[in-house]
Structure 1
Amino acid sequence: MKKIISFTFLFSALCAFAQNADSTKTKLKVYGSFERNGQWYTNDKNRGINHDTVPLRANNYFNVNFNYKKFTFGTQVESYMNEALLNFNPKYKGTNFATYYANYKSKKLDITLGHYYVQFGSGLALRTWEDRSLGINNALRGAKVVYSPIDEISFTALYGKARTGFDVANGDVFGFNTDVNVSQLLNIDAFDFKYGFSAVSRYEKLPVSVQNFSAFTNLFSNRFELGYKNYYVNTEYVFKSRDAIIKQNVLDTNFAKEGSALLVNFGYSKKGIGFDANLRRVENMQLLAQRNLDNYPTLSSTSLNYNDKILNFVPSLTKQHHSNLANIYVYQAQFQVVMDESTQINKFGEIGGQFDFFYDFKKGSVLGGKYGTKINLNVSSWYNLKAKFRYTNNAGENIQNYQAELFNANEKYFSDYNIEITKKVSKNFKTAFTYINQYYNNKQIQGIFNKYIINSHTVFSESTYQLSDTKSITFGLEHMWADNDRKNWAAGTIEYNHNENWSIFAMDMYNYGFDHKTLTISETDLFDIHFYNFGAAYKKGSTRVALNYGRQRGGLVCAGGVCRFVPPSTGLGLQITTSF
């Protein structure tokens, strides 16, 4: 409690100081933010949920930065009261300084000591970032130097240890990156051409018992970007040196393979029409800040369940749907290797892609009408890599091995085919209609065997009516038909925006049509039930306060193609964000 009072006092003092600094036009600038995500979990007899142990929880983040000329200093204090929100990393406990840094930046030189975030290329080789909704913060603590001798070339060198909770992982991370704008360097105006190269190395001392295995794991990335008029193509290839593969939550040095990733993105875009394609092949590309996982026996989980100590970024390349029902069966990228003889789950990576096409029918045309019509078509499909494999070696020892084929696919993981039509009907009314067809392999994606192939069809309609310059109402209706699992869903949402300050909303999702006697995936929410949620938000300047009450459906919550699992819950939520 003393820490909380102290940090609250510090926050108030800094806000006052920042206002005073602005008023006197001092060269010292103070800026930052505060965010609180709180939840009061309540009992829900209809769902068999009881949260008597720690019903009141909150994640608090206070960030403050001081800038004077070319120098910037900052820190982030985090407080988890009384504990972190449900199913966040168990290492998030208490109140402490989570990150801190000092930075010097001139035109050619950018030096950071302490915690920092970095991304090389698309992130396949290295990406550190923070996402509070997912509980991810893998900032590196060490030193980073960026040198740009000229505008067209930059070099980055770094060293650090990845954050885990309020501590750091055991592994040491070294990195080098260079980006070159070749077309500008050579004064070529006909097209744009950029080249990038990255090298990342993770070092972790091995036990004496481990022989003939390197303490280093190295990744090398080559990439280029080419643009000509309205066309573009980007590609990246990453090679990963031999690394131990996780087997029964332990990295087995007897089962070690190289890894690789190939990403190709190309497209065409101009006003009113365009397409974009993403193709990717990934094999054994999981890069951990330390080899051994943290196991939580009482929670039946490991650090991987919380995206903890993961150094690279391999998101799912599928459409991020606005529909609530379309996010029930959401895909997670399968970039790891899994071989389990008992369950016959054998995954060697993924291969597939996503294609996106949009077209605007002009105003005044037959299909465009008075205000025009927009159409968006999106397709994505992902498959397991085809491979030859065995569970034992020639001597009969339990040492697994596999050999994946280069561009050959095997079992299907997931597909999503959808079309969205957006139409402005009148000056004050616009509407959108979406159809979504999804295929979801529960066995391969989540390891669930009961009714593990799910085919679903979802229709979603959302409309907005502008009541006045400041007032509007948005309402949506959607329905999903599924042949397995929990079968059918219906949902509705309504939101009223009174002005730029006030808004209120209400929504409900209803599940029906299945036989609960055959559903063994979850012990809760087995019967026909409403997942309601309603609340209000107030915004003034840079401050926003939101209050909601409702039921959280158990499952995956995703942001930017990365997901975390949330358990079923019911309760009152409070969110406060402000910046200064």
Structure 2
Amino acid sequence: MKHFILALGCLTAVSVFAQETTTEEKTKKDYGKVFGSFESNAQWYLNDEGRGLMHPEDPIRSNNYLLVNYQYKGFTAGIQMEGYEGNALLNYNPGYKGINLGTAFVNYKSKYIEVTAGHFYEQFGSGIIFRAWEDRALGINTAVLGGKVIVRPVEDLRVTFIGGKQRSGFKLSDGFLAGSDLDWNLSNLLKFEESDLSFGASYIQRYEKLDIPVSDPDFNETTRAYSGRVNFSHSSFYASAEYDYKSKDVVLNAQNQINPDFVKPGNAVLVNFGYSRKGLGVDATLRRVENMLFLSERTPTPVGDGVSTSLNFNDKFISYIPALTKQHHSNLANIYVYQAQAKVDFIDPTILKAGETGGQIDFFYQFDKGTALGGKYGTKVSANFAQWYNLPGTYRQNPAYYDTEFFGVGEKYFSDLNFEIDKKFSDKWHTAFYFVRQFYNKKWLEGGDAVRTHIVDAEVTYNFTSSRSLRIEAEHMWADADKKNWASATAEFSLNNHLSFYVWDMYNYGNDDENFQTHYYNVGGAYRFKSTRIAMNYGRQRGGLVCVGGVCRFVPESTGVSLSVSTAF
């Protein structure tokens, strides 16, 4: 940690000096500019006798990131130093340990070409066959170390070439990736004035040598994936479609080991369409995914507990397949969250999965000001419905086999129906009401009884001034299984544009076991000044899935004090 503090101090001094020099010498010479960010997330894990929790070894842990970029004309170079002291936060990738260089790159960009050497991020289409990205809250960094070239030979045409090895912790995965992507907008060529039309095509391959024989004669150590897409919009209407195909590859068994006698291709279909104008929006997304787990190493890396693997940490994923469901802001609605089921998973003779099929639809409408339902300030109403199933077909566990049907549905995984009413009564009073009904097939998704929930959520915000406000939120969940009923309450006070405080509690009062009728309380605050934010929190962490943008990681039960610091320069 002291290395990061020293580096940040030196960097701040350099940045200030550079700014002063630029002001004085601006008319003489351009020396370029330095910019970047620093982020630190620390946790002090404490014993909690009420829950029988003991703090881990190295109870004080932190994840730290120092990003420094230098730009001069068309050239940019950057490094990201990372430190995980004494270890990374609980349930982060065990490959993150100590202080080391995370990423480094050099980039040149002109009107027609862009070249990157070193670590880079990229996405082809929706990301189903390839996405290299970073999300620190989830412990994800799948940057590729190698080279990327983007060519723009003519207006509206973009061609990308990539090659390299994917990052895994502070090391690299064994598989080598190579691919290309084309994106071509035809609107100008076709002289469209109110419409937009574009096409895209992608290819990526992973080569990894296998040391065990595979029974299928068509198996190839190079796995190839292809994708094609089209996007069209006209006036307020829009639609897009994408098809992805992955060549034959070995399938993992229930222990996440390669089954050399089980070889299957994979595919995915993604369709999105909708209508949007002022005050009204309708959006629908449908997706079917079959055997699209795509890793830079076929065999997930086991970790020390003998149960978890690199899959638990979103490590070595080439594909990006988020859950297409409502991203709730309610605490209780995030207890039973859905994760996309993209892989073949033969858990036991009664639970045999090959992927998922389903979709979601969003609706938004705003009643105009001055109408009976709109009132003086208008009224916003929104709804969302999502439903997901296993693929229908014929399944057999031993020897492993499946044959799916393209249309239809299998075992139901999950559904979520929710409504929200957002109403402002005056310049000072703002309210919102939320209703959620969920079905979570815990038996098929993680083990346990299926759960049906009904959740109500009401919140009110009172604005004392333009920068001072008080928000109070109350929630209740009725659940027919698992941990049964919950109640939650939140109070958040913003003192001004810089300082805010909050306190909240989630209470599992309906648990059949009185020993687990737990209060998950938290109290904290945040201070913001320009691009710097400092936040501190004390409380209990509920064990379960934490999700960002439809991608989740599991966090264990814990109690402690957390401190987060972030700044940009």
Q: TM-score, normalised by structure 1?
A: 0.94
In the other structure, the counterpart of 1:396 is none
SS of residue paired to 1:23: helix
Q: How far is the alpha carbon of 1:254 from its aligned partner?
A: 1.4
> Which range moved further: 348-357 or 17-26?
17-26
Distance 1:563 1:196 in 2: 28
In the other structure, the counterpart of 1:395 is none
In the other structure, the counterpart of 1:402 is 402
Which residue, out of 128, 131, 152, partners 1:124?
128
Q: Aligned pair 1:313/2:324, yes or no?
A: no
Residue deviations 1:427-456, cap 9 Å, x none?
Answer: 21111101000000011111x13xx11000
Q: Aligned pair 1:563/2:560, yes or no?
A: no
In the other structure, the counterpart of 1:113 is 117
Q: Please give the residue correspondences for 1:55-66 in structure 2 after superposition, counting only pairs within 5 Å.
A: 55-66=59-70
Q: Aligned pair 1:576/2:561, yes or no?
A: no
Q: Aligned pair 1:183/2:190, yes or no?
A: no
SS of residue paired to 1:183: coil
Q: How far is the alpha carbon of 1:551 from its aligned partner?
A: 0.4
Q: How far is the alpha carbon of 1:298 from its aligned partner?
A: 2.3
Distance 2:88 2:443 in 1: 30
Q: Please give the residue correspondences for 1:119-518 in structure 2 after superposition, counting only pairs within 5 Å.
A: 119-207=123-211, 209-210=213-214, 212=217, 213-247=219-253, 248-298=255-305, 300-341=307-348, 344-392=350-398, 399-446=399-446, 448-449=447-448, 452-516=449-513
Q: How far is the alpha carbon of 1:209 from its aligned partner?
A: 3.7
Q: How far is the alpha carbon of 1:408 from its aligned partner?
A: 1.7
Distance 2:362 2:5 in 1: 51
SS of residue paired to 2:407: strand
Q: How far is the alpha carbon of 1:14 from its aligned partner?
A: 3.8
Contact 1:225 1:233 in 2 (8 A): yes
Residue deviations 1:527-570, cap 9 Å, x none?
Answer: 21211111111111111111110100000000000000000000
Contact 2:4 2:66 in 1 (8 A): no
Q: How far is the alpha carbon of 1:53 from its aligned partner?
A: 1.8
Residue 229 to residue 235, structure 1, CA distance change in 2 (3 Å): same
SS of residue paired to 1:46: helix
In the other structure, the counterpart of 1:523 is none
Q: Aligned pair 1:536/2:525, yes or no?
A: yes
Distance 1:280 1:78 in 2: 37
Contact 1:203 1:216 in 2 (8 A): yes
In the other structure, the counterpart of 1:84 is 88
Residue 312 to residue 21, structure 1, CA distance change in 2 (3 Å): farther
SS of residue paired to 1:512: coil
SS of residue paired to 1:96: strand
Residue 208 to residue 550, structure 1, CA distance change in 2 (3 Å): closer
Structure 2 counterpart of 1:373, one-letter code: T
> Which range moved further: 294-303 or 306-315?
294-303
In the other structure, the counterpart of 1:527 is 516
Structure 2 unaligned spans of 5+: none
> Which range moved further: 246-255 or 482-491?
246-255
Which residue, out of 526, 536, 539, partners 1:547?
536
> Which range moved further: 5-14 or 529-538?
5-14
Q: How far is the alpha carbon of 1:150 from its aligned partner?
A: 1.7
SS of residue paired to 1:415: strand
Structure 1 counterpart of 2:456, one-letter code: V
Structure 2 counterpart of 1:279, one-letter code: L
| CA RMSD, Structure 1 to Structure 2 (Å) | 1.5
Structure 1 runs of 4+ aligned residues shifted over 3 Å read 1-27, 208-212
Residue 61 to residue 166, structure 1, CA distance change in 2 (3 Å): same
Residue 208 to residue 378, structure 1, CA distance change in 2 (3 Å): closer
Q: How far is the alpha carbon of 1:4 from its aligned partner?
A: 4.9
Q: How far is the alpha carbon of 1:91 from its aligned partner?
A: 0.6
Q: How far is the alpha carbon of 1:116 from its aligned partner?
A: 0.4
Distance 2:49 2:380 in 1: 46
Q: How far is the alpha carbon of 1:54 from its aligned partner?
A: 1.4
> Which range moved further: 319-328 or 147-156?
147-156
Q: How far is the alpha carbon of 1:401 from its aligned partner?
A: 1.1
Contact 1:21 1:28 in 2 (8 A): no
SS of residue paired to 2:376: coil
Contact 2:81 2:102 in 1 (8 A): yes
Q: How far is the alpha carbon of 1:11 from its aligned partner?
A: 3.4
SS of residue paired to 2:406: strand
Structure 2 counterpart of 1:59, one-letter code: N
Contact 2:179 2:203 in 1 (8 A): yes
